[in-house]
Amino acid sequence: MSARLAAVLLTAGLWAACAGPGTPGPVSFSQPVVESATDVADVDATVALTTGLLLAANTSRDELWRTLEERLGPRAARTAHGLVVTSSSRAPTVTLAVDLRDLSVCRDPAAGVVVGEPPRVLGCGARGLAMLAAFVLAVERTDDVALLVVDDDAVAAPAQAWVAGGGGIVRHDDRDVFDLGVVDAGVLDLRLRLAGDGADLDTVVAAAGRALAWRGPVRLPRVLQDRDALLPRGPWPMAGDPAERLAASSSSADLVRARCRLQSPPTPSLARLRCHVLPGVREDDVVADVLHAIADPTVLVEREAVTPPTSTSWDAPLVQAIHRRLADDGVLVAPMLEVQPRGSLCARWRQGGAACVSGSPLALHPAARGTVGTAAESVDVQELGRLVGRVDGVLRGLRRSTEGG
């Protein structure tokens, strides 16, 4: 163990000695903390591991891998795609996955320090590495859970996976809501070209511009209709038609309005677009939209490739286990549609037949949201205790459902 890592773990240990016997309570940004069943040992273990991972990651990516391999021992195998930790004796009930490719790392030497009152763990990438710490602890405690730390393209699909992805627990009105990614938008690649052998850059650029600018009618995916029905009434969402509310919201507009983007600069005879295909929308509808927007018979619209939308059923055992466990904390779980240029890790695994969800059941105070991805990013120590309790609770609930108990 490096001297710097030992110093951070000592800091976490000193905090634990001073923190006393209090235990973290349900998520709340406006109510006093009350007791929950989370053991203070869970808080200590999660804080110590999170601080170590934060310091390692902000030192170098190699240091993070070395720290993980040292911690996980012979169960861990490094592959071209990342780190795989296998179950010791049984086929895994679920694979816990963390995608490090988009992890924010600021090379901050102070990362991993426990500061403030109430105490919090400071460091760029704190949210993602807190989820990694919770998943590591879960794997170490059970023999039917696997861990995958991804640093390259996706590997073969597990039967059931939980990816520590974006989102998290956020405040809507006076309710805490967990955005659980169960649906990914599909992708349709289109080629705009001039009929015959013509070459006219102005015409191609103008046609591509009209295709990108046109938005057309909102076709609201079912998952967003379900989300809208679940969320509390009040200041958010605003009154009015659900589709228009979501289209007007800065957090949802891109999901239902942004249709296409350029893949590369147009040439005198060709422009390539990548368009989102939302659940319930046919490829033919997207092509018809683009043709309508271009309104130029000299420009042909041709399909190059398509990746259909993917989804995991809301009735899937893993989804229901997350739903029930967070309900115990007073957190509402709502389905979320994800839109990424090449699809999320879950999207690729669902194409292989897996049940997969994406989301981190970790709450950040609204005032701390602007610091995510910076050296000022932090996670409340009590929230770390809640996090490991939630992961453990979900796994217990999932195990009971698969065993029929």
How confident is the model over 121-177, as pLDDT tens digits? 988 889 899 999 999 999 888 888 888 888 776 667 788 999 997 778 887 777 888
pLDDT (0 to 100) of residue 253: 59
The model's confidence at residue 96, banded by pLDDT at 50, 70 and 90, is: very high
Which tokens sit at 178?
Answer: 């967990």
Q: What predicted TM-score, i.e. pTM, was given to this entire model? A: 0.80
What distance, in Å, lies between the first and last C-alpha atoms of the chain? 42
**328 in the same domain as 269:** no
The confidence score (pLDDT) of residue 242 equals 55
The number of domains in the chain is: 2
Q: What is the pLDDT of residue 3?
A: 42
Same domain, 306 and 350: no
Quote the CA–CA distance of 149 and 321 in Å, as a whole number: 22
Q: Who's near 155: CB < 8 A, 6+ residues apart?
A: 79, 81, 82, 84, 148
Cα–Cα nearest to 108, from 89, 125, 123, 96? 123
Q: Is 385 left (phi over 0), alpha (psi -120 to 50) or beta?
A: alpha
Q: Quick check: 48 pLDDT over 70?
A: yes
Range of the domain at 244: 184-310
- Residue 26 has a pLDDT of 35
Alpha-carbon distance 9 to 45, whole Å?
10
Let me know whether 239 and 363 are in one domain.
no
Same domain as 162, residue 77 = yes
Question: Where is the domain boundary, 295, 310, 325?
Answer: 310
- Residue 17 predicted with pLDDT over 60: no
In this structure, are 46 and 152 located in the same domain? yes
Strands (E), 123-269: 145-150, 160-164, 168-172, 175-184, 186-194, 260-262
- Would you state the structure tokens that stand for residue 383, as one six-digit string? 């929230």
Average pLDDT, the chain: 79
Please say which residue of 293, 310, 327 terminates a domain: 310
Asked if 16 and 135 sit in the same domain, the reply is yes
Residues 47 and 161 in one domain: yes
Lowest mean pLDDT among 40-44, 92-96, 99-103, 184-188: 40-44
Q: Do 205 and 118 fall into the same domain? A: no
Same domain, 164 and 189: no
- Coil, helix or strand at residue 89: coil
Q: How confident is the model at residue 341 (pLDDT cuts 50, 70, 90)?
A: low
Task: Report the distance separating Cα 149 and Cα 98, nearest Å.
Answer: 5
Is 198 or 291 the better-scoring residue by pLDDT?
291
Return the CATH number at 159.
Answer: 3.40.630.10
Looking at the predicted structure, is the pLDDT value of residue 240 above 60?
A: no
Q: What is the mean pLDDT of residues 399-404?
A: 75
User: Do 115 and 95 share a structural domain?
Assistant: yes
Position 336, amino acid: M
What is the model's pLDDT at position 226?
83
Indicate whether 115 and 255 sit together in one domain.
no
Q: Last residue of some domain: 294, 310, 326?
A: 310
Whether 405 shows a pLDDT value over 90: the answer reads no
Interatomic CA distance for residues 395 and 94, integer angstroms: 8
Q: Are residues 226 and 77 in the same domain?
A: no
pLDDT (0 to 100) of residue 39? 60
pLDDT for the residue numbered 76: 81
Higher pLDDT, 229 or 207: 207
373 close to 104: Cβ distance less than 8 angstroms:
yes
Q: What pLDDT does residue 367 have? A: 67
Q: Which two tokens stand for residue 22?
A: 């209090």
Whether the predicted pLDDT of 90 surpasses 80: no
Q: How far are the Cα atoms of 185, 289, 295 from residue 282, in angstroms, in the given order?
A: 12, 11, 20
278-308 pLDDT tens trace: 888 888 988 998 999 999 999 999 999 888 8
- Here the CATH number for the domain that contains residue 261 is 3.30.70
Q: State the pLDDT at residue 131.
A: 93
Q: Which residue has the higher pLDDT, 359 or 17?
A: 359
DSSP codes of every residue in 280-331: T--HHHHHHHHHHHH--TTEEEEEEEEE--EE--TTSHHHHHHHHHHHTTTE
Mean pLDDT of 304-315: 90
